[in-house]
Amino acid sequence: MRAAIELIAEKGPGGFTFADAARSAGVSAAAPYRHYRDRDALLSDVARRGFEMFEQELSGAWDEGRPTPMTAFERVGKAYLVFARKEPAFYSAMFEAGIPLDAAPELRAAGDRAFAVLRNACDVLVAALPAQKRPPALMMALHVWAMSHGIASLFARGGSSQRKLPMSAEELLEAQMLIYLRGLGLDASSGSTRS
């Protein structure tokens, strides 16, 4: 797995073979088959581990909504970007390897647990809105996930192809979330609702 992570960081999830991973690990070409069915199973395991680490980062940032849900929600967004920047090989395996989540129940479960942190945070924020103005929390979580992922993929991971911004990726996400949350009727500075 360690060799695969290094190869993903260097060449991307599609840039190496199972034999390359074995050679990089210093083992025979047959050795990985004792642990993995094929290269996709290896990538699936890397992605699963990435989602587990991602869940821990997001959960730590959420911290059960302390000291306020809005402050914690902002930390979750920053944690998303930090993870993409700090763990590019895992992030790439999780979102760019093309491994279907249903290929392995463990991978699906790990991905679902990571998303559940964001979904829970959205449940808390949506509950602060008047009942007649509450959007579905799942819809909000999917919107926030897509916005965070887009900014992480385009601007937070570095590399020579990254577009230059007049602000940091964190500032861009904060501005985008401010507009989005205000549109929902949440005052992003206080976590309260607006009439």
pLDDT surpasses 60 at 56:
yes
pLDDT surpasses 70 at 161:
no
Instruction: Report how far apart, in Å, the C-alpha atoms of 171 and of each of 117, 153, 184, 191 are.
Output: 22, 15, 20, 18
Q: Left, alpha or beta for 154 (phi > 0: left; psi -120 to 50: alpha)?
A: alpha
pLDDT at 195: 44
- The domain 2-184 having CATH identifier 1.10.357.10: the answer here is yes
Residue ranges per structural domain of the chain: 2-184
CA angle centred on 157, ends 156 and 163, rounded to 5°: 65
Does the reported pTM lie above 0.85? yes
Q: How far is Cα of residue 181 from the mean position of the Cα atoms in its chain?
A: 20
pLDDT surpasses 60 at 81:
yes
Q: Please identify which residue in the block is written with the tokens 């996709």.
A: 40
**What confidence tens digit (pLDDT) does each residue in 6-17 have?**
999 999 899 988
**What confidence tens digit (pLDDT) does each residue in 23-41 have?**
998 998 888 888 889 889 9
- The mean pLDDT value for 185-192 works out to 66
Which carries the bigger pLDDT value, residue 35 or residue 80?
80
